[in-house]
Amino acid sequence: MAKVTWRGLNELYIKLHSMPNDLGTQGAVLAFGSARNAAAAIRAAYPVRTGKMAGGVKVRETVRKYGGRAVVTNRVKYAWYFEHGATDRQTKRGWKRGSTVPRPTFIPIRERYDRVLEQALTALLLRHGLQVVQRGAG
């Protein structure tokens, strides 16, 4: 008759049981830091002549059971028009203010910080011995 002896099974159980909390906490720290850094870079990139644009950039952080969520927004009413441009027909109530050229600022900076965050989260998972597999689209 064959006999199997497990060594370290209790330690493995403890590590697996604590992993969601540990990874969530560390991931939230990375996400919050990334959002704050992105917000600072966005504020610094807005030209001074735009008035309240930099002051409208806010970070909302939400702590959850297994991690956290950070959202960067710009609450200034004309932020969308600054980013995407506008024509007379796009302005509210048909006001005739002329057209503006798009000046992509918020989105490119946020996307750059999102890519850096994704790399940091991937590295976090790898450090904990997890395998990260990217699946192709389609």
Q: Is 68 or 12 the better-scoring residue by pLDDT?
A: 68
Nearest to 77 by CA among 60, 93, 61: 93
Mean pLDDT for the stretch of residues 113-127: 92
Cα separation, 77 vs 83, in Å, equals 12
Question: E strands, the chain, where?
Answer: 57-64, 67-74
Q: Say what the pLDDT of residue 8 is.
A: 73
Mean pLDDT for the stretch of residues 69-91: 84
Check whether 73 has a pLDDT greater than 90: yes
Tokens standing for residue 123: 């590295």
Mean pLDDT for the stretch of residues 68-84: 92
Cα separation, 62 vs 24, in Å, equals 12
DSSP bridge pairs for 71: 60
Mean pLDDT for the stretch of residues 89-96: 57
Q: Say what the pLDDT of residue 62 is.
A: 95
What integer best gives the mean pLDDT of the chain? 85
Q: Say what the pLDDT of residue 107 is.
A: 95
CA 94, chain centre distance (Å): 35
Q: With cut-offs at 50, 70 and 90, classify the pLDDT of residue 65.
A: confident
User: CB under 8 Å to 31, separation ≥6 — which residues?
Assistant: 67, 68, 69, 70, 117
Check whether 118 has a pLDDT greater than 60: yes
